[in-house]
């Protein structure tokens, strides 16, 4: 089992949903969040918290799924980013799950 995490602008929520569907992932959670982007490289020793100059309405999508479906979602997201070059690509991460109280079916 894998934990698939996807982050993107809220404007891309419909596209992320389509990608999840194409990957065979029918159940996932979406949480709204604020994203920050600052083109300057901050000195992390100067400030503990971000002082990003721009904030963006974003989403955080996650689900527990089979490895093959998570990998398919990542490939679809890579393809989307290659064909839709913007300053705000969709990001995806696959994290292993060592233990769980249930099985993904």
* pLDDT tens per residue, range 47-64: 545 555 677 889 999 999
User: How far is 89 from 82, CA to CA, in rounded Å?
Assistant: 9
Computed over every residue of the chain, the mean pLDDT equals 86
pTM for the complete prediction?
Answer: 0.80
Residue 40 token pair = 């300057």
For every one of its 105 residues, what pLDDT tens digit does the chain have, with 9 covering 90 and above?
999 999 999 999 999 999 999 999 999 999 998 777 666 555 555 554 555 567 788 999 999 999 999 999 999 999 999 999 888 899 999 999 998 887 765
């Amino acid at each position: 089992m894998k934990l698939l995490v996807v982050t993107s602008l809220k404007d891309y929520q419909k596209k992320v949903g389509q990608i999840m569907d194409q990957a065979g992932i029918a159940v996932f959670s979406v949480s709204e969040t604020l994203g920050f982007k600052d083109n300057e490289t901050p000195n992390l020793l100067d400030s503990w918290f971000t002082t990003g100059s721009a904030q963006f309405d974003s989403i955080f999508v996650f689900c527990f799924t089979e490895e093959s479906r998570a990998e398919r979602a990542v490939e679809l997201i890579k393809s989307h980013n290659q064909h839709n070059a913007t300053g705000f690509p969709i990001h995806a991460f696959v994290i292993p799950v060592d233990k769980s109280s249930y099985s993904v079916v």
